[in-house]
Every structure is written in structure tokens, then in C-alpha cells.
Structure 1
Amino acid sequence: MADPATGFVRRIGPFQATAINMSQMCGIGPFITIPLMVGAFRGPQAVIGFVAGAVLALADGLVWAELGAAMPGAGGSYVYLRQAFQYRTGRLMPFLFVWTAMLFIPLAMASGALGFVQYLGYLWPGMTRTQGNLVGLAVIALVVALLWRRVENIARITTVLWGVMILCVLLVIVAAFTHFDPGMAFTYPEGAFAVTTSGFWIGFAAGLTNGIYDYGGYNTAAYLGAEIKDPGRTLPRAIVFSILGIMTIYLLVQIGVLGVIDWEEMTKEDSPAYAAVAAVMLERTWGPTAADVITVLILVTTFASLFAGLLGGSRVPYDAARDKVFFRSFARLHPVHRFPVLPLLSMGVIASAGFLIGRYTSLMTIILLLMTVMVIVQALAQIVALTVLRRRQPGLRRPYRMWLYPLPSLVAFVGWVVIFGYADKNSPGHHPIEWSLAWVGAGCVAFVLWAAYEKVWPFGPREISEEYLRDGEPGSGSGDRPGSGPGGGPDGEADGDAGPDSREPAPA
């Protein structure tokens, strides 16, 4: 039955949560970013990018694991930022997160659709730009149509698509290593590891950006926290297992491809290996027929990634609207299938617009823009939120606590700062840093106008809502209450004296 507090039902189990994460992570990403990463590093040492991306993903994933297990509500980061920063800035941070998420989540979908059309070009060499545009828009529309149903049916679809994804990458890995040349994969150009030069670090930042873009999605299940069974146990495991699994897959894929195709060939933009490196590798190892078949599987894998991304992302504005931190019409669920209607449709429209923009600029432009927008409000602010909550809400029930705290937080913080700081140098002339700051600045202006209309801070009292400190009985099943299950041991019992939500004057 639906939780009366949220309208959601906890139906997604551990395997399905891990499958949702992995489906979002292993989409078209590595198949389109290997040439970009090799070009950034100027050699097969580009594997450093995937390793660095895995380290950042795992460190940041542990932040998500602790926060998601303690506060398993719909919306993920929105919930965590709302709880952590309400004491000083009211609703500003959750508002800004939803504001930026309405851009970076659809842009991630748009980049996947761009990759889909790029690989389709291998099977359809005569495809025109207009035809490619129509195909990409149709793919996004189909994703929206398939999500127009009950979440337990979606979980089954995702599990099937996850199986196709695993089959696809395994075939790519096997094909590469049956014709593997170690000399190609492990012969590095002069100065490849000259860490004292600025060029190395610019390339490293670009590789790290592409690497974490490829790993993006390890947090998808956290956005569905209100629909996860036993979230205190399920969410940390789904995050860690999906990152470790995809890390292994990505390293094998990149090393295998570098052992078949010369790295200089895949960096030339007019080369077929630049547009569809996996398809070209398969053609040279198993022949054209096998390349065509596995390219179809790559397209299915890409579709699965778009599917999982929009599934989780559409829950973000819903939870914000339900708490009156976003337009109230976004809080409506479908009366029968219980999914957020307007968030799903609006993100589909924004993704379509982002796809068309990417078609007339470049894939790297879209990747850098979505990454810089995401870093400011989600990545960095969420790391700070974990520490703030440990101090502000020590009685919060934490079924999982970050291993080696605060080391993973520090590693993640430094990694995100490197990505943001080098973004302009890796996209000359496009100014992703300035555009991202402008978008956040516009969000601040929008918040002031909205807060004045709603009479909330800074035009009214702060609203302190510590609902996760209340009703902390394990297994309560509430969509906005702490999850149950023996994760890593509770951090403390719930505070039974927290009292009801309060409106209190801002301290002087």
C-alpha cells in the first residue's frame, strides 16, 4: 500500500536497486568517452582517467551511502540538503538543488541520446543531421512513454535491460582480449607521466571529468529512497557494489580497446574510430556482422541508461514540490500508477532541448556544462551536508556510517574542485564555469522572488523540520522516516523528544 505521507510504495529490492544504478552508469558513456579521454591524455595512459574516476565515485558514493541510508526519502540530494542547511539558510539550498537538477539531469539524458545517435550512425552511414535529430527526439519520447507505469513494472524492465547491458559489455571485452596486443595498450609516448607539467594536469582533469561522467548513476537508487525496501541496508550496498562492478568493467573495456585500435587513430575526429570506437574494434576482431549485432546491444544499453536516469531524476522536483520548495503542480502523482507526472514530462522536454543544442555544438560541451552545474550545489554542498548533519543531528539514526570518515569526504571534495577548476581550460571558448555560475546566480534570484511570495526565510521565519529524528522505530516503513535493517550499525537511537515541525524565529 502507498505510504500516506509520500504516496510511494517500497517495492524495489537490493538486486533491482543495484541494477538500476548499474544501468544508469553503464550506458553509452565509456563507448563515446574513450576517444575523448585518450585525446586529453595524448596516449594509452588515459586509463588513469578511469582509475581516478573510480576513486572519486567510490569516495563520493560513501557520502551518498550514509546520507541515503539515514534519510531514505524521494529526491536524494534534495532531502539531504534540506535537512542540513535549514538551520541557517532556510530553504535556499534545496531550492537551488532542484533548480540545478532540472538542468543537469536532463543534460545527462541529452548526452546519452547524442551518443545513441552517434553509434546509430555506424549502422546507418547515410543518416542525415535532420534524421539523427528526429531519432534522438524519438528515443527520449519512448523513454518517457515506458516510464508511464507502476514502479514495480519499471523495476522488472530495468532488470531485463541490466541483463542486456552486462551481455553487451562482456562481449566487447571478450572480443577485445581475443585480439589483444599488449604493445599497443602499454606503450606510452614520451612525457606521458610528466606530472610536473601543466599539460599533464589539464589532461588529468579532462580525464577525471570524463571518468566520473561515465560512473555517473551510482546514486540513482538514492533518488528513489522512498520506494526502496529496507533502505538502510539496501542503499549502501547498491551504491558500493555498482561502483566496484562498473569499475572492473570499464577498466577491461578501455584496456581491451587500446590493445586493438591505435590510440592516435581514435583521436582524429574524422575517423570512424572516434565516432564509434567499440563498433570499429568489433569489426576488426569478429567481423562486420558481429560488429552490427553488438552495436545494436550498445544502443539497447544506452536506452537502459536513459531509462534509469529519468526514472530517478523525475523524483527530485516531486519531493521538493511536496514540501513547498518548488512549483506545487510538480507534487501530483498519477492517480493509478503513482508516479510524478509533471516532473517526468518536463525533464523529457528539457532533455530534448539539450539534445538539439548538443547536436549543433559538441558532446564535450554538454558534458562539461552538466558537470560544472552539478558540482556547485550537489557534489560540494552535499559533502559539507554530511558533516553538518553529524554535528546538528547527532541522534539521527544512521544504519550505515562512512568508512574511514572524514577521508572519503576530503578525497571527493578535492576531486570535484579539480573538475570545476579546469573546466574552462578543457572547453576553450565555451566558458562552462561562467555559464554554471550564471545559472546558480539566476537560481538565487528566483529563490528571493519565490521566498518573498511564499513569505519564508529571509522574508519570514526559518522552518526547522527534523522529521528523520522522529518515529525512528526500525521497519516503520514510512517513506520519509529512517530505514530499517542492520547496515553498518546505527549511529544512535532516534530522538524521541524532537517534537513536531516548528517555525522558530531566526537567531540574531
Structure 2
Amino acid sequence: MSTPSSLTLEGKLRRDAGIVGLLFASTTSMIGSGWLFGAYHASRIAGPLSIGSWIIGAVIIMLIALCFAELAALFPRSGALVHMSHASHGEGLGQLWCWLLFLAYVPVPAVEAEAIVTYANNYLPWFIRPGTSGLLTLTGFVTCAALLGITALLNLMVVRWLLNVNSTITWWKVLVPLVTIVTLMTASTHWDVMHASPDSYSLSGMFTALPAAGIVFSYLGFRTAIDLGGESANPHRTIPLAVIGAVVLAAVIYILLQVAFIMALSPGDLAHGWSHLSFKGEMGPFAGLAATLGLGWMATLLYIDAYVSPGGTGLMYVTGGSRVLFAAGEMNAGPQALTRLNRFRIPWVAVLVMWVVGVLFLLPFPAWQQMVSYITSVTVLTYGLGPIALMVLRRNLPDLKRPFRMWGAGIVAPLAFICSNLIIYWTGFKTNNFLFSLLAIGFVLYAFHYHFIARRAADDFGWPHIAWLLPWFGGLWLLSWLGGIGGGRGVIGFGWDILVVSIWSVVVLLLALRSALGSSETSAMMARMDSTS
């Protein structure tokens, strides 16, 4: 283990990641527990319209990913999402955003571990409480904690070794869904099920399924290539290619999986409508369908994959989250201990924090769908800053050399921001009320520490640059309360809610641009970050 003094001299990450390693890092982050459960939950919410849900989700995520592809090439550093917020709105927002990113990353390995034990519970009924919607037993909790520990230990390897392990896992994770698609389509005998029970689903379900069924959650992993940017030998070229390529690959697989899942259903499975879709083995949906169709070998393959796919995704999210924490220490948004590296130049303290806090997240969200709703909402919230940061940098540094320049940024970036807010709204009031309450408490604690414990000057906090967060977060909370999704009051009907959220998003975007740093301040912040690279 390196000593703290040597870390000061050698505190640089290795640049061993190539295009294939980064592409597979993002791909394996996207093809995890979402493919095992997403099609089932989407079918219950939106029926055959769930196919449209995956298409819409892919389009929305691609809009966001295109913004980040340009930004990532400008910030080829590990934990780049932290640095982007510093460059657009200063240190105050950067420090707040760092911890928002941490809250988005840290629960994902936990939800992937829970996906593993949920599938395993079909043949080892020790992990899930009978008669519940996925609540963990004590044995299940301890097992999930142990699985998180394994991903943390693997993350202490040299990044080249880690990505080699991940590349092997990713080949498996891509091939098994493809085999599943072809096999289910070939074996299916009820192709007309697409038209069954048309009264048991609605058009609104196609949109609410985006967060509720884990569709957006499944696509969110594209950011892993960005997080590992500081460990790539040629980040300006490899990061945009990896980000865009991973989204396209995952979208094709997920859309075809949804089609194959629906085709494999029988009319009896839909006897009580799509919302009450039920069949033997539904706790492991694809494996259950395979068994029903007499494909025992495929069911066995899927039970094996239920370890590999979520495990690989959890592995990469521990990697990405630890790099965000590393960047937090690097930019003084967190303790300097987060930048400590082991002899392989891996931020071991950050990895340890990811494991400890990840275990805690098994407590308040002890079921896959409950955790997915929270993760989707907070992650998309953090992504919302990307389009804003892109527009600020385009305005403040128009002549800056951009290795990847997105066409039509003036249209794509606002659309990406609007879509981010719509996804948060569609998550529903119950989840958003928890999320924004948590953020409010966290902000108050942070401000108290800053002003009264650290006793730093109020002018340095950056109030002029972060005040726009109040109408953004507060407005989304209010609209969610007025809407009719997930416990809302139902004052705003479907269709009108999309219009209102879109208009409010434009207002917030204008406030954010007005509150951003000036050209000289952005240049100074970029120079400061370059000095630490």
C-alpha cells in the first residue's frame, strides 16, 4: 500500500483503457439487471406499448449522451461529471453536484446484488420474504453485502486487468440476450398476443414505464466510459465513440428483448389483463418463460447469467462511483483521503466508501423496483446539468478546440434537458418527494458545515451561481405533487403535464444560463483543472 507522502508525488491514475475497454465498460453497465426484469415490469405497465417505451427511452438517453460525448472529450479525466459542473457554475455547484453524483452511483451495485439474489430465490428460497414484492430476508441482506464486497475487492486491481475481466464478462452479457431473443422468437407459438386485453393498458403507461419499469435505469450506464476518461490513452477519440456506441448497442438488444418477451407469452398469462400478467417462475421472468416453453437448457443459462449480468454492472458502477469520489477529493469537494491510491494506482479509499454506503442502501429500498425508481430519478437529475454545461461552454468558450462537436447543440441540449425533467416527473410524487426531501436536508447540512463549522466566507459559497437550483428542484416537486403519477393530486392531466413540465424546463434553463460563470471565470476554472491533470 502506498504511503500518503508517496501519493502526493505519484497520485496519478494509469492510462491503460482503450476504445474496446471503454465501450465494453459502458455496455456492461447498461446490460445488467434491467434486461432480466425490465421487459416483465414494462409489459405489466404498458402492455405491448412497452416496445415503444424502450424506443422512446433510447432516443431520450441518446440526446443526453450526445451532450456528454462532447463534454467528456473536453474533460478527459476520471470523474469528469464533477469537473463539468465546476466549469459551468463554479466551485459551489461543483461540490454539491459531486455528492449528487455519489448518491446516484452508490445504490446501483446494491440493486444489482439484489437482482442476483432475487433470481437465485427461485431455487434457493432463503433470500426473499414470502408473500412480499421482493423484500430481503436477513440472509438475503448479508448475501447482498458480501456480493458488494466482492465487487469492491475486484476494483482494487490494475484498471487494465479490471477492464480485461469486464470485457470477457461483456461478451457473455451481449451473447446471452441475443441467444434469448432468437430462441424465444423461434419457440413462440402465440404471435397474436400483441393484441390481447387492449383495455388493460393505456398510452400514458408507455411513458410512466420509462422510470417505473427500469427502462431509463437500464440505459443509464453509458456514463462509465466518461468516468474512466482519465485512464484512457486517447480520451478525446475513444470517449465519444464508446458513449454513443454503447447506447446504440444496448438499445437494439433491449428493444428486441421486449419483442421476444411479449411473443413468448401465452393467452393464459394475460387472463386478468396486462397489469396482472402472471406465469410460473415470474420472479425470474425470462427463465420462467423459457421453462414454460420447455427450454430447460435456456432456463439454466439464464439462471447463470443472473449472476454474470448484474455482477458485471455492479462491478463497473463501483469503478465509476469511486472515480467520482476521487474527483471530489481532487477538487476539494470532499476529503483529500478520497484521492489516496494503492500500489496499482487505484483510489482504494473511494472504493471502500462505495462498499460501505452501498450496503446501507439495501436498508431503505429492499426491493428491486423501489430502488430503481429512486436511482432513475436522482441519476437523471444529475444528467440534467450536462446539457446546461454544454450550452454554457459553447457560449463562454466558443473558440475552444472540441475533439467531438455535436451538431445542432442549440436544439439537442434543450431537448435533452426537457426530457431529463420529464423522466423525473414520470417517476411519480412518492419517489420524488423522498428524493427532494433528501436533497433539501443534504443542502442544509452542507450549508451549515460551510458557514458555521468550516467558517468559510459567504461570498465563496457561490450563491449567485446556485440559486437557480431552488426553482428547478422546487418546481419539479410541485409539478410532481400536482400531477397524477405515483401519489400526485391529479390536478394536471396526461398530456397537459408534459406541456407544463416542458415549459418550466425552458424557464429553468434560461435561469441556469443567466446564473452561470462568465467567460473569464470559466477559462480560469478550466486552467485550474488542467494544472491538476
Q: Percent identity?
A: 20
Contact 1:7 1:338 in 2 (8 A): yes
Once the two structures are superposed, residues 372-393 of structure 1 have per-residue CA deviations (whole angstroms, 9 ceiling, x without a partner) of 22333x1222221110111122
Show the counterpart of 2:502. none
Report the CA distance shift for 1:19/1:480 in structure 2 as closer, same or farther (over 3 A).
farther
Show the counterpart of 2:488. none
Report the CA distance shift for 1:412/1:192 in structure 2 as closer, same or farther (over 3 A).
farther
Show the counterpart of 2:378. 373
**Equivalent residues in 2 for 1:332-371, closer than 5 Å:** 332-334=340-342, 336-359=343-366, 362-371=367-376
Contact 1:6 1:479 in 2 (8 A): no
Contact 1:202 1:422 in 2 (8 A): no
Matched residue of 2:399: which SS? coil
Alignment-mate amino acid for residue 305 of structure 1: T
Show the counterpart of 1:149. 157
Show the counterpart of 1:475. none
Show the counterpart of 1:490. none
Q: Residue 271 of structure 1: CA displacement?
A: 4.6
Contact 1:23 1:158 in 2 (8 A): yes
Cα distance in 2 between the residues matched to 1:325 and 1:127: 38
Show the counterpart of 1:82. 86
Alignment-mate amino acid for residue 62 of structure 1: L
* 1:315 to 2:319 alignment: no
Once the two structures are superposed, residues 166-206 of structure 1 have per-residue CA deviations (whole angstroms, 9 ceiling, x without a partner) of 2221221122122134634532543588xxxxx63255123
**Equivalent residues in 2 for 1:386-425, closer than 5 Å:** 386-424=390-428
Show the counterpart of 1:434. 433
Cα distance in 2 between the residues matched to 1:480 and 1:181: 61
Once the two structures are superposed, residues 57-114 of structure 1 have per-residue CA deviations (whole angstroms, 9 ceiling, x without a partner) of 111110110100111122121111111111xxxx222222222222221212222112
Cα distance in 2 between the residues matched to 1:70 and 1:165: 31
* 1:254 to 2:258 alignment: yes
Show the counterpart of 1:7. 12
Report the CA distance shift for 1:92/1:447 in structure 2 as closer, same or farther (over 3 A).
farther
Q: Which has the higher helix share?
A: 2
Contact 1:175 1:286 in 2 (8 A): no
Alignment-mate amino acid for residue 227 of structure 2: Y
Most deviating of 148-157 and 409-418: 409-418
Show the counterpart of 1:428. none
Show the counterpart of 2:23. 18
Once the two structures are superposed, residues 228-255 of structure 1 have per-residue CA deviations (whole angstroms, 9 ceiling, x without a partner) of 1211110110011111111111111111
Cα distance in 2 between the residues matched to 1:466 and 1:3: 26
Report the CA distance shift for 1:446/1:8 in structure 2 as closer, same or farther (over 3 A).
same
Matched residue of 1:122: which SS? coil
Contact 2:26 2:224 in 1 (8 A): yes
Contact 1:6 1:480 in 2 (8 A): no
Cα distance in 2 between the residues matched to 1:311 and 1:286: 39
RMSD of the TM alignment (CA)?
2.8
Contact 1:180 1:260 in 2 (8 A): yes
Q: Residue 397 of structure 1: CA displacement?
A: 2.4
Gaps of 5+ in 2: 1-6, 129-136, 463-516
Cα distance in 1 between the residues matched to 2:244 and 2:103: 26
Cα distance in 2 between the residues matched to 1:465 and 1:190: 54
Matched residue of 1:24: which SS? helix
* 1:63 to 2:67 alignment: yes
Q: Residue 443 of structure 1: CA displacement?
A: 2.9
**Equivalent residues in 2 for 1:208-357, closer than 5 Å:** 208=211, 210-262=214-266, 264=270, 268=276, 271-285=279-293, 287-334=295-342, 336-357=343-364
Show the counterpart of 2:210. 207
Matched residue of 1:451: which SS? helix
Contact 1:71 1:480 in 2 (8 A): no
Cα distance in 2 between the residues matched to 1:312 and 1:191: 43
Matched residue of 1:274: which SS? coil
**Equivalent residues in 2 for 1:12-51, closer than 5 Å:** 12-41=17-46, 43-51=47-55
Report the CA distance shift for 1:219/1:479 in structure 2 as closer, same or farther (over 3 A).
farther
Contact 2:211 2:373 in 1 (8 A): no
Normalised TM-score (structure 1)? 0.83
Cα distance in 2 between the residues matched to 1:275 and 1:461: 48
Gaps of 5+ in 1: 194-198, 426-430, 473-477, 482-508
* 1:104 to 2:104 alignment: yes
Contact 1:114 1:363 in 2 (8 A): yes
Q: Whose RCO is larger (CA < 8 A, sep 6+)? A: 1
Alignment-mate amino acid for residue 156 of structure 1: N
Contact 2:152 2:355 in 1 (8 A): yes
